[in-house]
Amino acid sequence: MLTNAKDNFAKDRLKVCNKCPEKNKLTGTCNVCGCLLKAKVKVIEEYCPMNKWKDIKEFKDRGLAVKLHDTDIATIEENENGSLTVSYKKPFKLNQKISDTKLTLEFINCRGDHEEFEYDTTLNNIRTSICSCFSVVLDKTSLKEAESAKLILKYNTKLEGEINKRLKIKTDKDIFVIALKGEVK
């Protein structure tokens, strides 16, 4: 899906590429994936093969990428153990309206980018599990190659203190874990 070049995520991605040693300055392509960067950054489902972009991270070499819809609300990072961490940037207020804690993530099936999954790229039976203090709405349970599903998370801010939870994305092929971090005060 091509998106408007003015979209912030495309500009932010290009800024990272422009500072990256893997950018071929003569051709404007990436030395790792071979893509033309000016076009690649505009495609919402694309991801950096070195996980350098700030809005989207792949579970390294596992064929599922997670895009953060609003990088003003949270950050997304890759962990050494292969999981991802999403951290809310600002603390919530105690008893804040649950609708004001909305965070949208997008799961993107990128198994087709990996040779080992060539004949088995569809993810089925997708569901999530997390502590009941989160409300979770996932709009699809099956993803073909390059398709994406939106997940809307809301947090019930009834207790003060740290938010430190694990969101599990279960599929018929694998289980993916996202640590969710934040604070209520």
Binding site for ligand SF4 (CB under 6 A): 16-17, 20, 22-23, 30, 32, 37, 48-50, 52
Complex with ligand SF4: residue 49 or 91, whichever CB lies closer: 49
Asked if residue 149 lies in contact with residue 106, where contact means CB atoms within 8 angstroms, the answer is: yes
Which stretches does DSSP call E strand in 62-119? 64-68, 74-78, 84-88, 103-109
- The Cα–Cα gap between 127 and 168 comes to 8
Nearest-approach distance from CB 41 to ligand SF4, in angstroms? 8
Query: 109, 144 in Cβ contact below 8 A?
Result: yes
Minimum gap (Å) between residue 18 Cβ and ligand SF4: 8
30 or 76, CB closer to ligand SF4? Answer: 30
**In whole angstroms, how close is the CB of 118 to ligand SF4 at the nearest point?**
22
Q: Is 56 exposed, middle or buried (0-12, 13-18, 19+ CB in 10 A)?
A: buried
Give whichever of 8 and 164 is closer to ligand SF4, judged by the CB atom: 8
Our CB check for ligand SF4 shows the closer of 12 and 22 to be: 22
63 phi and psi angles, rounded to 5 deg: 80, 20
